[in-house]
Chain A
Amino acid sequence: MDVIYGLLPGMLLLGIIAVVIFFWAVKNGQYDDMDGAANRILMESDQKKDESNNDDEK
């Protein structure tokens, strides 16, 4: 059971790495738009025929 003396600090280390990654993600703006990205992935899938879209005001 002595392995526990090593496992627990190891677990903490992994946890701290996760926290650091999370802080980085927040700083990076990953959490700025919580709803948009989740839906975007579903919407991008259907490709419409790509016609050149002329701005009719011109």
Chain B
Amino acid sequence: MSISCYHCGLPVEIEGSFSAEIAEEKREFCCFGCQTVCKTIYNAGLEGFYQKTTEDIVLAPPPAIPAELSSYDLDDVQADYVDINSNIRTIHLLVEGIHCAACVWLIENALTKQTGIITAEANLTAKRLRLTWDNSKTSLSSVLHVLGNIGYAAIPFDPETAEGVLARKHRGLLYRMAFAGFAMMNLLWISIALYSGADQGEFRNWFHWIGFLIATPTLFYAGYPFLRNALLGLRHRYLTMDLPIAIGATATYAYSSYITFTGSLYGDVYFDTVVNFLFVILVGRYLEAISKREALSATTRLLELQPKLATIVTEDGSKVIPIRSVIVGDLVLVKPGEKIPVDGVLVDGQSAVDESMLTGESIPVVKTIDDKVVAGSINGEGAFTIETQQVLRNTALAKIVSLMEDAQASKAPIQCTADKIVPWFVVVTLSLACITFFYWLQFDFEKALLAATSVLIITCPCAFGLATPMSIAVATGVGAQNGILIKQGSALESLSKVTQFVFDKTGTLTQGILRVVAVKTIAVMTEDELLILAASIESHSEHGVAKAIVDEAETRKLTLSTITGFLSSPGQGVQASIKQKQFFVGTHRWLKAQNITIEEQWQQKQDLFEGEGISCVLVADQGKVLGIIGLADQLRKDAMKTVTSLQQQGIAITVISGDKETVVNAVTAELGNITRYAEVLPADKSQLVRNLQQENIVAMVGDGVNDAPALIQADVAIALASGTDVSIESAEIILSHNELYKVAEAKNLADRTLRTIKQNIAISIAYNIIMVPMAMMALVSPLVAALTMPISSLLVIGNAVRIKHRVKSK
């Protein structure tokens, strides 16, 4: 087992590449970000953070901090979020990187140590921070900076516009649930009294009236959503689960009220059944609403990730303005490392731009004059000016958001087995109750009403309603212990029926990081010498290729030489001198432009590498080429095992990637017989999934923002925990240990769960077959009902618990 990063807990890929003395002990880190963050935390005396993070929590490496923080101090910009007329200001910040309670502790403690901060309250569930500060003593940018240093990226946002309506709806449901809970607790006392004999004596009527008083508001206030949905469903001729709930509750209520009003001594009241039933179902609905709300907040979050500011160039020089003030045609200056704020065409300068968020392409794309750039992608080392073509809602990023919304709206709700049976169940129950009523009506009205109602109550979908949720609850628990987080239970059921798995390539099937895979040199030079040369120069660059070369040099424990006169041509190459000799590292084309002769053999080698999906950089001195370094993204170690295990179950595998075809083919070659789609744009990804869905039930596994629309479109979405927040939120199943093989394990779990669900449905149907005829014959006394109903539920629950043991014994 490899060492894991002291800060984030992810495995350290190359031991010793990032290590530091922390509190007199040598610690290993996975990346420079983690190392810096950890140092800052110790310097601030907040090392308690590490005792507070529990073992099983895997933090992610710290997110990149937005570059232009100082602009957030401008009143113009802040006006969107705070009241700028006073010095004491309160703002809501969206914080990327909050994982656990220790993060909350760290943020609050680090901030309250700063001068000028009045309160800082971090919200763990919503990953937000409410900050009140004194603008005369500190500035917003310095607060954001402190957050950045301890590993959190924060962006201001306005909670009301983002989700005001939804929050109010959510709150309404919570009120109804609370009210039903209150009613249930009080009514149970009355029921106990009635059961223990009060229904015989002088208080019988008094208790009935109190029950009526409690049950009436509960049915019409707390039960309103069910009554409404049942009526709506009837109007649209669609039988939903709400209908039997509404009928069961109303019929029981009506019958009990009848007994209460007539003061009859014959029947019993069932107000407690009505109220308990509504409460239990409302609890389920509330839990469902929470997960839906999380999924929605992810969409708004993606929009919040858009840059908020832009530097526009006018005749009077450049100035920073809020993004919404930028109009089409404005010239926008993009500095190195910044996120591009608008879609546009490059008019001046050049750079390499990281578009991985939109295209999934792992290597930055070189942009020169007249090339198009899209908002949300990240600029590399060069600065450039663009002419604005699209702003805000029209940008490509905003379109991904609307794609996600479309997919969410158009996707048919997952048809659970229970959903399919419900309409039949309702029809059969209702007709049986009618038959019972009219049969007994020939003899006695009261007996007819009693018998018909008991048919409704007995079939009242207790065991039936529990059959699916209980199995899923147990499976969710088992999954969580194994690093499979199931966000939406119904996903398990569809996962077991999946016939087609779609994998994203970059970051999902592969590690998502470039690695040096081949080094070729001229005869008089060793590989190490060439690497020392290249790494010494590249260590001054931030490019992904540079990082890969430097990492390789460190793995081989090479000592780098000092360089002078470093020059970088973004996206093309770098040069510097070592001991008065000039060296170049860069692309073929760029070296040619530097008047370096490239012999035929290097051209051949490069072609050979590129055919295998390996990208190349050449190393040269002033006269000739010294060697070639090949870099590639490699498959995860468990990719092969995962794919074969799924294929053995007869599942087809498809790989989608934004990368070039040769690269996709080469990287996935060893996976053998799978379908491959290359150069697929994010919008086409979801289209592709839709096409596959016509003949298959599709599960999508992905990790990037660009996968989000496809994830939502798919029948089941699985995301890796190392992925972006947005992809995690759009997925139903999350693999928390970041191991691809868990995909196959999740599939096994889903199969087992579906089998249990089917058994449970069989149990509850058997129960109904025995009990309903008895109820129709008016033989069911309240005592019999009270005994058999919990027994059927217990059977269903017990069977569900077996999922746990079966998984363990495997």
Q: How many A-B residue pairs have CB under 8 A?
A: 94
Over the window 46-58 of chain A, the binary record of Cβ atoms lying under 8 Å from chain B Cβ atoms (1 yes, 0 no) is: 1011111101111
Is the Cβ of A48 less than 8 Å from the Cβ of B45?
Answer: yes
Nearest CB of chain A from residue B108's CB, rounded to whole Å: 8
Report how far A35 CA is from B105 CA in the complex, Å.
12
Contacts A11-B186, A19-B182, A23-B178 given; indicate if A32 touches B142 (C-beta within 8 A). no
Query: Chain B contacts of A53 at CB under 8 A?
Result: 43-45, 110, 113-114
Alpha-carbon separation in the docked complex, A48 to B203 (Å): 64
Q: Which residues of chain A are near B48, meaning CB under 8 Å?
A: 43, 46, 48
Please, how many angstroms separate the alpha-carbon atoms of A26 and B182 in the complex? 15
Tell whether A18 pairs with B101 under 8 Å between CB atoms, given A12-B213, A26-B171, A32-B126: no
Question: Which residue of A4, A11, A38, A43 is within 8 Å of B206 (Cβ)?
Answer: A4
Across the interface, do B45 and A36 meet the contact criterion of CB distance under 8 Å?
Answer: no
**Which of B117-125, B383-391, B593-601 lies on the face that meets chain A?**
B117-125
* Binary contact readout A1-43 vs B (1 if CB under 8 angstroms, 0 otherwise): 1001100100110011011001100110001111110111001
Indicate whether B231 reaches chain A with its CB closer than 8 angstroms. no
Task: Give how many A residues have a beta carbon under 8 Å from the other chain's beta carbons.
Answer: 36
Specify which of A15, A39, A48 is in contact with B101 (CB 8 Å cutoff).
A39
Interface residue? B149 (CB, 8 A):
yes
Known: A4-B206, A33-B125. A40 touches B182 (CB 8 A): no
Residues from chain A with Cβ under 8 Å of B104 in the complex: 36, 39-40, 43
Which residue of chain B has the shortest Cβ distance to A31 in the bound complex?
B174
Q: Which residues does chain A contribute within 8 Å of B126, judged by CB atoms? A: 32-33
Bound Cα distance A44, B52 (Å): 11
The reply on B254 being an interface residue by CB < 8 A is no
Out of A15, A18, A32, A58, name the residue touching B125 (CB < 8 Å): A32
**0/1 per residue, B398-427, Cβ < 8 Å to A?**
000000000000000000000000000000
Q: Which residues of B contact A16 (CB under 8 A)?
A: 182
C-beta contact mask, B171-185 vs A, less than 8 Å → 1, else 0? 100110011001001
CB-based contact A15/B186 at 8 Å: yes
Q: Is the CB of A15 within 8 A of B43?
A: no
Chain A residues closer than 8 Å to B31, beta-carbon distance: none
- Contact yes or no, A32 B149, CB < 8 A: no
In the bound complex, CA of A15 to CA of B175 (Å): 14
| Contact among B125, B174, B185 with A36 in the assembled complex (CB-CB below 8 Å) | B125
Cβ of A40 and Cβ of B189 under 8 Å apart? no
Q: Are A36 and B124 in contact (CB under 8 A)?
A: yes
Closest residue of chain B to A1, judged by CB? B203
B434 within 8 A of A: no
Known: A11-B189, A26-B174. A36 touches B101 (CB 8 A): yes
Whether B210 is near chain A, meaning CB under 8 Å from some CB there, is: yes
Report 7 cross-chain contacts, Cβ distance below 8 Å, ordered by A residue: A8-B210, A12-B214, A31-B174, A40-B108, A44-B105, A51-B45, A53-B43
Q: Point out residues on B near A: beta carbons under 8 Å.
A: 40, 43-48, 52, 100-102, 104-105, 108, 110, 113-114, 122-126, 142, 145-146, 149, 171, 174-175, 178-179, 182, 185-186, 189-190, 202-203, 206, 210, 213-214
Chain A: residues with CB nearer than 8 A to chain B? 1, 4-5, 8, 11-12, 15-16, 18-19, 22-23, 26-27, 31-36, 38-40, 43-44, 46, 48-53, 55-58
- Given contacts A11-B186, A39-B101, A55-B142, 6 further A-B pairs with CB under 8 A are A18-B182, A32-B125, A32-B126, A36-B101, A36-B122, A40-B101
